[in-house]
């Protein structure tokens, strides 16, 4: 069937969670019961405020949890500001799912190492949920996550939840100077915390996402631990508009981040021109 | 132009100039901008009446500014642009040397802002006859006829922004059209948005445009957009006096207050 | 392919017949500025014939400069009525394309339809018949023979006409072309021999894509890009005139209650094209942007779709205020 990929679904904002300054999570439900929206972890969508435009974020929930999806975004431009002004029961537009997902089925039986910081956690949360919802299929699960300050940490309740799980190793940190008086976890940049708690690369997959500086500093540490470049996954962000590989905004060399990604192995990223 | 080539080579050789912007002939026998850095390349330089591009637009380009000592082969309209830019304090990081050819066909080398000002004032260009003819025709039309004329013309605009790109006075690092909070001007090339863009541009250039006519000449859609700014300029001269690109001191009417300014528009 | 002939005097009859039958005919028209543009015509008398190339391509017919994606309107149930208007596209004939332009449509077809088919392009392309005119003259900006085409190329055309002294060869390439011919088949006679070489222009060949496909592999790091882009000041003229440039922006125009979402032409040469809302711009200099344009046309399109996405029409060279020369640049970065 020829579907028109520019026509959005209509989704209702079912819940709003203020995660951090300027950062919100929206829980979205489809208004059309026949929508039958399915997706895989790592895919993204175009979220639109009619009259303002669309903005691109990953789908931050997991396909293992049905009936709704979640997105987490920071208010920074025209569309995200308009989105931030929405209220519960408002209708927004959603196009998707777009992009290549994480190949989670190929990771069964392996240890999974998540490395991220700040607003980089939402794209990985869909994978974390997906893994934790099928926990018995995977080996060790380690999460290295930090933010500039305690207030900037997103998904604070879930972090508590992960910290208390015996089958998850959570290394939580804030940048030096970002701790509060009652902060009990690590203080230091994420790469420093990884150095202090080196993950084993044996039968392991690493997934790194977040600020470019974090990715840049984490890669040598992973290499030192023996992670081959094709065992490290990341999700690239670039300016996107159409989501389907036509408008040209997201290209890096011959690659369209929207349709050939946004999930890439580090080996694939190294082969691209460094224009992202 | 042997004399020009020799002089250009000399300036590059002795380090007066690190980068020379001039004209050369392309495969299609068109006269196009060229950028040379060594004396050996100077033999490609050409300069005559057919050299219409206003090369002063390149003085805003980072790759050009990095060279600091710039030589510019210029017709008098281009020199007038440079004078206007100097009066707007846009070229402070550059050391400029100008090469031009006067009415008698002689090579003239201008080495300072003062020499530039003197030359421009002595050779000040007037409105081109074909442009004045068109302006007179438009001004003789009724408002409805003029509106219909521009509506027809501006419906062809594709919003390529070539007019803005070639204009030496359009040097804002973030143009009004690039602001989306709020979206002052629609990005799509629909007639109403095209009107918004071109009238906004004419307003921003009022009292600054030096009438090189490049914007209209190069418009891929063949729209004579230079007439809009030419008309604005004539009105500015009538209302406020002064001429654009005349003096190093400038005194751009839209941001200069004089006690004698008429305030009869305040009612 | 079916080969026919039509007399020169019957060409006007044929085109006027198409108009009478209610088809939209888009053809080259000479405007007051002296430039020729593709415009809908009301009679053959309006069609320009003595020119080398139009200022803009004919891609607007299938990829308009502003295209409404849908309208939206708040309804009483609290949601929105969202409607596209793809059913309103008329039967269109593009008359008097050049073979390079038809090759451009061939590329557009591959780009928009091969993967993630674009519903809007498809709706328009399906209703469009392309009638191409071979070139009997060219200028120094033409370089189709360097990019896998030539002045009598049938690639992408539904019908290719080649003018001889008092008649035209008519090469009917597709079913769409056949249907058009049959709208007035009495005007055409069949023939067996095609001998059009003598009537075709002879543009200079500067390189072959076979050599470029190899050499361009290392061109990204060439030091020549800076000189190749010095004259560029970051407008969109080349991209908008180009028959194969397809980049676009999506904008909402209206309020939160009602309005429309449109897509409009965009250009990778414009400075904000890749800028993130954080302010980070992956292609921050004009050198990087011009390199992207040329690498996309001569390398990335070849890798992704198997065809070079430059057709050698020369429009970019002609409309560029500095006449930046794409084939000279390709030669210098692949030296």
Chain C residue numbers with beta carbons less than 8 Å from the beta carbon of B183 are 251
φ, ψ at C13 (rounded to 5°): -60, -45
Size of interface A-C (CB pairs under 8 A): 114
Q: Which chain A residue lies closest to C67 (C-alpha atoms)?
A: A6
Give contacts of C 210-249 with A, CB under 8 A: 220, 246-249
How far A161 CA lies from chain C's nearest CA (Å)? 31
Q: What six digits make up the tokens of B2?
A: 């042997």
Q: Which chain A residue lies closest to B182 (C-alpha atoms)?
A: A78
Kind and range of the H or E run holding B178: none
Largest CA distance in chain C: 68
pLDDT tens digits for chain C (335 residues)? 899 999 999 999 999 999 999 999 999 999 988 999 999 999 999 999 899 999 999 999 999 999 999 999 999 888 899 999 888 899 999 999 999 999 999 999 999 999 999 999 999 999 999 999 999 999 999 999 999 999 999 999 999 999 998 999 999 999 999 999 999 999 999 999 889 999 999 999 999 999 999 999 999 999 999 999 999 989 999 999 999 999 999 999 999 999 999 999 999 999 999 998 888 899 999 999 999 999 999 999 999 999 999 999 999 999 999 999 999 999 999 99
Residue C87 to residue C124: CA distance in whole angstroms:
10
In this complex, the chains that touch B, judged by 3 or more CB pairs closer than 8 A, are A, C
Chain C residue numbers with beta carbons less than 8 Å from the beta carbon of B158 are 56, 65, 236, 240, 265
Q: Count of domains in chain C?
A: 1
Q: What interhelical angle do C286-295 and C326-333 show, nearest 10?
A: 90
Hey, is the C-beta of A77 within 8 angstroms of any chain B C-beta?
Answer: yes
pLDDT band at B4 (very low <50, low <70, confident <90, very high): very high
B92-113 confidence digits (pLDDT tens): 999 999 999 998 999 999 999 9
Listed as own residue / partner, the contacts of A249-253 with beta carbons closer than 8 Å and 24 or more positions apart are: A249/C247, A249/C266, A249/C273, A249/C274, A251/C292, A251/C296, A251/C300, A252/A276, A252/C282, A253/C295, A253/C300
C133-175 confidence digits (pLDDT tens): 999 999 999 999 999 999 999 999 999 999 998 999 999 999 9
Compute the average pLDDT of residues A186-209: 95
Domain map of chain A by residue range? 9-98, 104-235
Residue C324 to residue C228: CA distance in whole angstroms:
8
Give contacts of C 65-104 with A, CB under 8 A: 69-70, 72, 78-80, 82, 84, 86
- The answer to whether the CB of B52 falls within 8 A of the CB of B71 is no
CATH class of the region A104-235: alpha beta
Q: Among residues of chain B, what percentage have pLDDT more than 70?
A: 100
CB contact under 8 A, A77 and B183: no
pLDDT at A256 over 80: yes
pLDDT at A7 over 50: yes
Residue A178 to residue A188: CA distance in whole angstroms:
9
Residue A109 to residue A137: CA distance in whole angstroms:
6
Q: Which residues pair with C94 in a beta bridge?
A: C26, C130
Testing the interface with A: which of B178, B181, B182, B184 to mutate, by most A Cβ within 10 A? B181
Chain C residue numbers with beta carbons less than 8 Å from the beta carbon of B32 are 231, 322-323
A111-168 confidence digits (pLDDT tens): 999 999 999 999 999 999 999 999 999 999 999 999 999 999 999 999 999 999 999 9
The DSSP code for B218 is H
Task: Give C119's contacts (C-beta < 8 A, 6+ positions apart).
Answer: A2, A3, A4, A5, A6, C84, C86
- The answer to whether the CB of B81 falls within 8 A of the CB of B169 is yes
CB contact under 8 A, C274 and A54: no
What pLDDT sits at residue A2?
53
Residue B223 to residue C55: CA distance in whole angstroms:
12
Determine the structural domain holding residue C310 and report its residue range.
2-60+69-273+280-333
Residue A55 to residue A48: CA distance in whole angstroms:
6
Q: What is the mean pLDDT of chain A?
A: 94
Give contacts of A 85-104 with C, CB under 8 A: 89, 91
Testing the interface with A: which of B174, B178, B179, B180 to mutate, by most A Cβ within 10 A? B180
Kind and range of the H or E run holding B202: helix B191-205
Testing the interface with C: which of A9, A273, A274, A276 to mutate, by most C Cβ within 10 A? A273
In this complex, the chains that touch C, judged by 3 or more CB pairs closer than 8 A, are A, B
Compute the average pLDDT of residues A43-69: 94
What pLDDT sits at residue C43?
96
Residue C30 to residue C181: CA distance in whole angstroms:
26
How far C71 CA lies from chain A's nearest CA (Å)? 10
Kind and range of the H or E run holding C29: strand C24-30
The residue whose two tokens read 């790469």 is A191
Residue B198 to residue C209: CA distance in whole angstroms:
41
Under CATH, which number does the domain A9-98 receive?
2.40.30.10
C165-216 confidence digits (pLDDT tens): 899 999 999 999 999 999 999 999 999 988 999 999 999 999 999 999 999 9
What pLDDT sits at residue A44?
96
CB contact under 8 A, C276 and A54: no
Chain C residue numbers with beta carbons less than 8 Å from the beta carbon of B28 are 139-141, 317, 323
The DSSP code for B89 is T
- The answer to whether the CB of C91 falls within 8 A of the CB of C176 is no
CB contact under 8 A, B180 and A77: yes
Compute the average pLDDT of residues A16-31: 95
The DSSP code for C297 is I
What pLDDT sits at residue A1?
37
pLDDT at B189 over 60: yes
Testing the interface with B: which of A78, A81, A82, A83 to mutate, by most B Cβ within 10 A? A78
The residue whose two tokens read 């902060």 is A183
Measure Cα distances from A41 to A61, A168, B254, C200 in Å: 8, 19, 56, 56
pTM exceeds cut of 0.80:
yes
pLDDT band at B258 (very low <50, low <70, confident <90, very high): confident
B196-251 confidence digits (pLDDT tens): 999 999 999 999 999 999 999 999 999 999 999 999 999 998 888 888 999 998 77
pLDDT at B175 over 70: yes
CB contact under 8 A, A7 and C248: no
In this complex, the chains that touch A, judged by 3 or more CB pairs closer than 8 A, are B, C
How far C20 CA lies from chain A's nearest CA (Å)? 33
CB contact under 8 A, C274 and A48: no
Residue A176 to residue A181: CA distance in whole angstroms:
13
CB contact under 8 A, C256 and A49: yes
Chain A residue numbers with beta carbons less than 8 Å from the beta carbon of B180 are 77-78
Testing the interface with C: which of B33, B220, B224, B227 to mutate, by most C Cβ within 10 A? B220
Hey, is the C-beta of A241 within 8 angstroms of any chain C C-beta?
Answer: yes
């Amino acid at each position: 069937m020829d579907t028109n990929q520019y026509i959005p679904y209509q989704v209702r904002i079912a819940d709003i969670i203020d995660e951090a300054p300027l950062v919100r999570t929206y829980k979205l439900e489809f208004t059309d019961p026949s929508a039958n929206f399915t997706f895989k972890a790592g895919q993204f969508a175009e979220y639109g405020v009619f009259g303002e435009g669309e903005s691109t974020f990953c789908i931050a929930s997991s396909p293992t949890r049905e009936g709704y999806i979640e997105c987490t975004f920071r208010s920074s431009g025209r569309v995200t500001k308009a989105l931030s002004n929405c209220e519960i029961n408002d209708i927004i537009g959603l196009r998707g799912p777009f992009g290549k997902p994480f190949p989670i089925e190929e990771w069964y039986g392996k240890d999974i190492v998540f490395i991220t910081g700040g607003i980089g956690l939402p794209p990985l949360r869909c994978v974390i949920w997906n893994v934790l919802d099928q926990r018995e299929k995977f080996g060790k699960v380690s999460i290295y996550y930090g933010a500039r300050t305690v207030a900037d940490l997103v998904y604070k309740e879930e972090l508590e939840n992960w910290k208390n799980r015996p089958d998850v190793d959570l290394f939580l940190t804030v940048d030096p100077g970002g701790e509060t008086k009652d902060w009990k976890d690590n203080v230091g940049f994420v790469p420093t915390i990884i150095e202090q708690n080196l993950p084993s690369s044996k039968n392991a997959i690493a997934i790194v996402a977040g600020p470019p500086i974090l990715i840049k500093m984490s890669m040598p540490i992973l290499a030192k631990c023996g992670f081959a470049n094709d065992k490290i996954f990341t999700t690239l962000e670039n300016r996107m508009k159409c989501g389907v590989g036509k408008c040209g905004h997201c290209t890096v060399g011959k690659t369209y981040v929207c349709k050939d990604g946004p999930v890439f192995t580090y080996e694939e990223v190294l082969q691209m021109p460094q224009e992202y | 132009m042997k004399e020009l080539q020799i002089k250009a080579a000399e300036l590059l050789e002795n380090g007066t100039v690190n980068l020379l912007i001039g004209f050369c002939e392309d495969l299609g026998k068109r006269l196009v901008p060229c950028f040379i850095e060594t004396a050996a390349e100077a033999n490609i330089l050409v300069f005559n009446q057919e050299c219409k591009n206003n090369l002063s637009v390149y003085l805003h380009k980072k790759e050009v500014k990095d060279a600091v000592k710039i030589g510019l082969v210029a017709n008098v309209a281009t020199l007038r642009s440079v004078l206007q830019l100097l009066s707007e304090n846009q070229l402070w990081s550059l050391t400029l040397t100008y090469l031009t050819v006067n009415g008698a066909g002689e090579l003239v080398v201008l080495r300072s802002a003062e020499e530039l000002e003197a030359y421009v004032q002595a050779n000040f260009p007037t409105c081109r006859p074909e442009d004045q003819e068109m302006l007179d025709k438009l001004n003789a039309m009724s408002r409805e006829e003029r509106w219909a004329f521009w509506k027809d013309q501006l419906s062809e605009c594709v919003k390529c922004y070539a007019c803005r790109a070639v204009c030496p006075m359009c040097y804002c690092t973030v143009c009004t059209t690039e602001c989306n909070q709020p979206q002052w001007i629609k990005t799509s090339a629909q007639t109403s948005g095209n009107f918004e863009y071109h009238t906004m541009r004419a307003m921003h250039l009022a009292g600054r445009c030096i009438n090189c006519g490049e914007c209209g000449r190069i418009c891929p859609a063949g729209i004579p957009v230079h007439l809009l700014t030419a008309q604005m300029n004539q009105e500015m001269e009538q209302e406020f006096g002064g001429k654009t690109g005349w003096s190093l001191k400038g005194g751009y009417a839209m941001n200069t207050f004089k006690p004698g300014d008429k305030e009869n528009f305040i009612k | 392919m079916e080969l026919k002939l039509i007399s020169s005097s019957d060409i006007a009859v044929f085109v006027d017949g198409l108009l009478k039958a209610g088809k939209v005919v888009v053809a080259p028209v000479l405007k007051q500025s002296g430039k020729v543009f593709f415009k809908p015509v009301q009679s053959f008398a309006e069609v320009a014939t003595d020119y080398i190339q139009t200022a803009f391509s004919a891609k607007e017919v299938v990829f308009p400069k502003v295209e409404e994606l849908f309208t939206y309107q708040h309804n009483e149930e609290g949601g929105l009525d969202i409607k596209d208007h793809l059913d309103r596209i008329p039967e269109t004939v593009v008359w008097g394309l050049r073979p390079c332009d038809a090759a451009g449509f061939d590329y557009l077809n591959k780009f928009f339809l091969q993967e993630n088919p674009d519903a809007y392009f498809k709706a328009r392309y399906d209703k469009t018949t392309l009638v191409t005119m071979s070139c009997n003259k060219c200028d120094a900006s033409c370089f189709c023979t360097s990019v896998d085409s030539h002045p009598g190329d049938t690639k992408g055309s539904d019908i290719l006409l080649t003018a001889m002294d008092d008649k035209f060869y008519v090469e009917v390439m597709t079913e769409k072309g056949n249907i058009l011919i049959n709208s007035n088949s009495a005007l055409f006679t069949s023939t067996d021999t095609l001998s059009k070489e003598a009537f075709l222009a002879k543009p200079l060949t500067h390189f072959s894509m076979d050599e470029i496909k190899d050499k361009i592999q290392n061109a990204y790091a060439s030091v020549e890009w800076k000189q190749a882009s010095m004259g560029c000041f970051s407008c969109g003229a080349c991209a908008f005139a180009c028959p194969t440039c397809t980049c676009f922006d999506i904008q909402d125009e209206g309020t939160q209650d009602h309005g429309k979402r449109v897509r409009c032409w965009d250009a990778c040469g414009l400075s904000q094209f890749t800028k993130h809302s954080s302010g980070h711009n992956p292609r921050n200099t004009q050198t990087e942007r011009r390199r992207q344009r040329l690498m996309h046309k001569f390398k990335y399109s070849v890798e992704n779709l198997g065809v070079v996405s430059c057709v050698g029409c020369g429009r970019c060279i002609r409309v560029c205020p500095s006449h930046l020369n794409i084939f000279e640049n390709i030669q210098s970065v692949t030296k």
